[in-house]
Amino acid sequence: MIELGLDVSGFDPERDLVVLVTEFLQDFGGEVITTTPYKTGFLRDNWYATIGDGGGGAPGRGNPIGRVTAVVASYQLGDTITYSNGANYAGFVEFGTSHMAPRAWCRAAIDRAPDILEAAAARVQQ
């Protein structure tokens, strides 16, 4: 789980907060997907998002950023968005094994999440 802080006193809670969170979720998902290590494309193509407990989702066909964006578009304040990868070896690539160094792209995106949120906030406040 990612917890981020941002002063939202300048935002209209009826309009701006949903837009802000949606912008952040799309940008963050895009960051995770586009930085996923690419060899055959299978790992990158298996990203998907779900709302709620994360159950019932599975990667589909087509562009993973498009799949994530379609789910995020139905976001409402209070919803939980889960990003998942359907490739059974995703964890090995992220965390490494005794034979392979970790690539840590998800953790790097999480480290950049505050900057991604600030950029989304700047766009919404324009």
Q: What is the pLDDT along the chain (126 residues), one digit of tens a residue?
A: 666 676 777 777 777 888 999 999 999 999 999 999 999 999 999 999 999 876 656 666 779 999 999 999 999 888 889 999 999 999 999 999 999 999 999 999 999 999 999 999 999 987
Residue with the two structure tokens 């968005």: 81
User: With pLDDT > 70 as the criterion, what percentage of the chain qualifies?
Assistant: 90
**Residue at 64 is within a domain:** yes
DSSP designation for 97 = B
**Residue at 106 is within a domain:** yes
**Residue at 5 is within a domain:** no
**Residue at 78 is within a domain:** yes
| Nearest of 111, 54, 117, 116 to residue 84 by alpha carbon | 54
**Residue at 31 is within a domain:** yes
CB 68 within 8 A of CB 24: no
**Residue at 115 is within a domain:** yes
Q: How many domains does the chain have?
A: 1
Dihedral in degrees, nearest 10, Cα atoms 64, 67, 69, 70: 170
- pLDDT score at 77: 86
Domain that holds residue 24: 16-125
**Residue at 6 is within a domain:** no
**Residue at 119 is within a domain:** yes
| Nearest of 36, 23, 37 to residue 116 by alpha carbon | 23
The neighbour count for residue 73, using CB atoms within 10 Å, is 10
- pLDDT score at 60: 66
